Structure 1
Amino acid sequence: MMPRTLLARTFLLLAVLVLLTTAAWLSLFRYIDAEPRARETAQLAASAVNLIRASLFAAAPKKRLGLFNEFSTREGIRLLPAEPDDVIEAMPDSRFQRLLYRELTARLGAHTRIAARVNEAPGFWVSFRLDDHDDEEYWLILPRERAARSFATHWLTWGLLAIILALAMAWLIASRISRPLKAMAKSAETVGRGQIPDPLPEDGAEELRQLASAFNTMAADLVRHDKDRSEVLAGISHDLRTPLTRLRLEAELSVADEGARQAVVADIEQMEAVISQFMDYARAESGETAEKTDLATLLGSIVERQGCIGHVLHSEIGSLPETLLRPKAISRAVTNLIDNAWKYGGGDVQLKVAAVDREIWIEISDRGPGIPAAEVERLKRPFTRYESARTNAGGTGLGLAIVERIARLHGGRLDLLANPEGGLLARLVLPIRH
């Protein structure tokens, strides 16, 4: 039931805190406000009763009825004689009403009664006697609002405004915490794809500034180390090509025995293939710009080139949308997977391409011995080989690592699965980007 994002969770917790705090303050205000309001209401009713008592005592008995009418018409105070058969409805049982009754009895005497309704007539009914020894009783009828507690509209308005402002501040606080973390997560994903992220802004709270600075330093170090490693591999590979070319020439001219010469040339070609893989790995994340590419045409050209060197593929290339990718890098990745399939797959290689749920699946399957599921992730690491029938002792263990880096560079992935028909199914998944 909890929200998933840090922003929503932080805002929810702050909002709950604001609402609970506001409710606690309102409850405390109502509790503290009850006694003074009860005292004020009781004082008002007692003053009215005392005024009526004094007026009635001062008036002649024959003029009291006229005085009642005078109070009603001029002052809005209603007076009725209490009757033994009056039907009385008591006030609601609440703390405020109990305090009000206590204050009234303290001022008017223990015989005082209060009611919410008498003979079906609503109001704030207070009984009193002209004299403590007088059995004749009267009802003073005040507006019901006098005995009811309610918050003034302006207090509710200000309270609602305070809650809205508090929630707005809670949202601002939560967003200022989550925004840099979200930006850092996106930058981390960019680093994971092998790309260079834009530096994070080093502003805000001291802890967030330190975190952004440390992340920027880490990203810059990773880029520098990767660049240094690629330059070292490229430099070594480039420097080895010249002596290998010279060795090939010397073997062609100096070795008289045909079998020995072919063996030396084969060794040199294998070494050149290893160097080519080093070069491919070094430039797997080169600065090639992504562009809209017709992937079906690109893969069709790869199939044709494979046919020209005697590797006939069974291909199924469906209709594919144009997508943003790096054509040279994708060609290198697909070619590496096809070469692996030809080397270790038993001579039956299939290429199948389709668009599935906003992704493009490029599948190369073979009928070789396959790879155990426990070894899949390990074999994606550089310079790692699986010592089995799929192993080429002269290989470098860079083929799958190159494909994995190119996949991450495009925001995709490389899946190595068991072929339902036996063998290995290598699936290169690329997101469709326009």
Structure 2
Amino acid sequence: MTEPHGGLRGWAAGRRGTVSRLRFTSLRLRLVVVFGLVALTAAVSASGIAYWLNREAVLTRTQDAVLRDFQQEMQNRAGALPVRPTQDELQHTAGQMAGSSQRFSVLLVAQDANGTTLYGSSDGLSGFSLEDVPASLRTAVNRKQPVSSGNASPYHLYWQRVMEHGTPYLVAGTRVIGGGPTGYMLKSLEPEAKDLNSLAWSLGIATALALVGSALLAQAAATTVLKPVHRLGVAARRLGEGRLDTRLRVSGTDELADLSRTFNNAAEALEKRVADMAARDDSSRRFVADMSHELRTPLTAITAVTEVLEEELDSESGGIDPMIEPAVRLVVSETRRLNDLVENLMEVTRFDAGTARLVLDDVDVADQITACIDARAWLDAVELDADRGLHALLDPRRLDVILANLIGNALKHGGSPVRVSVREVGDEIVIAVSDHGPGIPEDVLPHVFDRFFKASASRPRSEGSGLGLSIAMANAHIHGGDITAANSPEGGAVFTLRLPRDTSGAGAEPQETGEPAESGAERARERGQGESGERGAGDGPEGEVR
């Protein structure tokens, strides 16, 4: 059973490490993504603005130059034509105008003497024609504007950018002032478009490089930031595991260095406080152990005297004065109580010091419970529901201590009959001790196993030591088991003891003699406790809580 359990712990630890690494990677990824988004936004914005500014500058410069040249050609060459030119004159003038420095196509439209519309194109019959000019532009060119102080010309130059078969063009038109042909110009903007496309590709490549550079920069920044955070997390886990000497290396003067210094100061203060508490705890345990040990010597003598006095009380001769007989009986009972208290204190100190060990034996659980009940003369008050032959590898003496405290408390503070039931659940032995008393108050249930706990301040004194149930719980824990307290729906309290059937891995010591270990029930018989039922009846905190 040990190896699967250990493997499960290793798997759980591995899972915790994996979750930590995932969280660490997630934080790194978030930093890289944030850096990348910021860089991408900045690069795209800068590239977009640069492209838009360059596009407007290129197109505006080309457009202004072409329109200025076209307007000048219309004034100089088209304006020199007669009002009613011939076809040849229009064609020749259009060719001359197209030969300007801007190299655009020209279309001239006029009427001859007979009123026939004539067309003169610099590209010939199959070149630039009137159908290539948008209708809206033709309408604007032929619209006569009223002449006023703010408008000196009835006709103006109009232009428009169009897209034909994927190629951008600049189209413009105007009329000769004072009568003459109407001229249209067509200029291809394909060179400018290619330049702008090259610019867009360059800006896109620059944006991609900026994104890659930002990712690398973010990775470096994340590593710089997260390494101290990762070291802090590792140090915190080590501190949580009890390695109080864990410290962080402090370098720099930034916030992370200040955090590392704060962690080191907190760890140092915690280590000092834990060391002080451990020293005080060790001192307290030594004091209790030494005190208990020192008390045993005078208690031995006192116990011997009280035994003599008790024999005198029970003798037929009546050697004790009736006037002092109550005081003698009080001394005898209080001496027994003090003796039990010293033994319990010594047992508690052994548990606190971690020196308590199991002496295991193959125990028939039903026989052990019967022996415990018989040794304390509880056979008439306890009902046992247990099958014979249910064996477990336990420490008989410690099991007897547990049973004596649970059954004794039930008899004293519960209602008869007390029922003890035993059943096997998987690899566990489950022993339930139930009574028919008033039960335990709900606010007291969480504290019934506390040392010296008293539910009522008005009852500071009881016959027990107040340590019985806490010792019973410690004995259950050293077996690898547990005890729970609850109230039964039918009334009364129920204490449930769970013990593994095999406790060989719970810190047991082998028996050296090879003989069965002496049980607590046998020790109870030897001490004469079988008739009084003194042990267990008042040894647990339960004696203080009902």
Tell me which interval the TM-score lies in, with the shorter structure as reference length: 0.5 to 0.7
- Give the distance between the partners of 2:210 and 2:489, measured in 1 at CA: 73
- Give the distance between the partners of 2:244 and 2:301, measured in 1 at CA: 47
Say whether 1:341 aligns with 2:417. no
**Aligned partner (choices 391, 416, 421) of residue 485 of structure 2:** 416
- Give the distance between the partners of 2:341 and 2:286, measured in 1 at CA: 16
Say whether 1:368 aligns with 2:434. no
Say whether 1:158 aligns with 2:213. yes
Secondary structure of the 2:312 match is coil
- Give the distance between the partners of 1:228 and 1:43, measured in 2 at CA: 89
Equivalent residues of 1:202, 1:212 under 8 A apart: yes
1:95 aligned partner: none
**Higher deviation after alignment, 413-422 or 125-134:** 125-134
Say whether 1:127 aligns with 2:174. no
**Aligned partner (choices 463, 466, 480) of residue 394 of structure 1:** 463
- Give the distance between the partners of 2:198 and 2:129, measured in 1 at CA: 18
Give the direction of change, closer, same or farther, for the CA distance of 1:64–1:387 in structure 2 (3 Å limit): same
Give the direction of change, closer, same or farther, for the CA distance of 1:301–1:237 in structure 2 (3 Å limit): farther
CA RMSD after TM alignment: 5.6
1:218 aligned partner: 273
Secondary structure of the 1:199 match is coil
2:495 aligned partner: 426
Deviation at 1:11, TM superposition (A): 8.1
Equivalent residues of 1:129, 1:135 under 8 A apart: yes
Equivalent residues of 1:7, 1:174 under 8 A apart: no
2:185 aligned partner: 136
Secondary structure of the 1:416 match is strand
Equivalent residues of 1:230, 1:283 under 8 A apart: no
- Give the distance between the partners of 1:315 and 1:86, measured in 2 at CA: 110
Give the direction of change, closer, same or farther, for the CA distance of 1:61–1:365 in structure 2 (3 Å limit): closer
Equivalent residues of 1:366, 1:425 under 8 A apart: yes
Deviation at 1:296, TM superposition (A): 9.6
The aligned amino acid for 1:35 is I
1:314 aligned partner: 385
**Aligned partner (choices 274, 277, 285) of residue 230 of structure 1:** 285
1:84 aligned partner: 133
1:257 aligned partner: 313
Give the direction of change, closer, same or farther, for the CA distance of 1:430–1:286 in structure 2 (3 Å limit): farther
Say whether 1:207 aligns with 2:258. no
Give the direction of change, closer, same or farther, for the CA distance of 1:24–1:249 in structure 2 (3 Å limit): same
- Give the distance between the partners of 2:281 and 2:353, measured in 1 at CA: 11
Say whether 1:38 aligns with 2:52. yes
Give the direction of change, closer, same or farther, for the CA distance of 1:351–1:320 in structure 2 (3 Å limit): same
The aligned amino acid for 1:341 is A
Deviation at 1:398, TM superposition (A): 2.0
Deviation at 1:283, TM superposition (A): 1.9
- Give the distance between the partners of 1:319 and 1:7, measured in 2 at CA: 49
**Aligned partner (choices 325, 329, 338) of residue 271 of structure 1:** 338
- Give the distance between the partners of 2:493 and 2:170, measured in 1 at CA: 98
Give the direction of change, closer, same or farther, for the CA distance of 1:253–1:348 in structure 2 (3 Å limit): closer
Deviation at 1:206, TM superposition (A): 1.0
Pairing of 1:288-327 with structure 2 (within 5 A): 288=355, 303=369, 305-307=371-373, 309=375, 313-315=384-386
2:100 aligned partner: 57
- Give the distance between the partners of 2:33 and 2:215, measured in 1 at CA: 11
Secondary structure of the 1:283 match is helix
**Higher deviation after alignment, 23-32 or 410-419:** 410-419
Secondary structure of the 1:227 match is helix
- Give the distance between the partners of 2:233 and 2:208, measured in 1 at CA: 37
The aligned amino acid for 1:137 is L
- Give the distance between the partners of 1:430 and 1:305, measured in 2 at CA: 19
The aligned amino acid for 1:211 is A
Count of aligned pairs: 378
Give the direction of change, closer, same or farther, for the CA distance of 1:301–1:317 in structure 2 (3 Å limit): closer
- Give the distance between the partners of 2:184 and 2:391, measured in 1 at CA: 103
The aligned amino acid for 1:201 is T
Secondary structure of the 1:127 match is strand
1:26 aligned partner: 40
The aligned amino acid for 1:31 is S
Say whether 1:179 aligns with 2:234. yes
1:384 aligned partner: 453
- Give the distance between the partners of 2:29 and 2:300, measured in 1 at CA: 73
Deviation at 1:418, TM superposition (A): 0.9
Deviation at 1:22, TM superposition (A): 4.6
Identity in percent: 19
Give the direction of change, closer, same or farther, for the CA distance of 1:40–1:417 in structure 2 (3 Å limit): same
What TM-score does the superposition give when structure 2 sets the normalisation length?
Answer: 0.52
Give the direction of change, closer, same or farther, for the CA distance of 1:285–1:174 in structure 2 (3 Å limit): same
What TM-score does the superposition give when structure 1 sets the normalisation length?
Answer: 0.63
Deviation at 1:290, TM superposition (A): 8.9
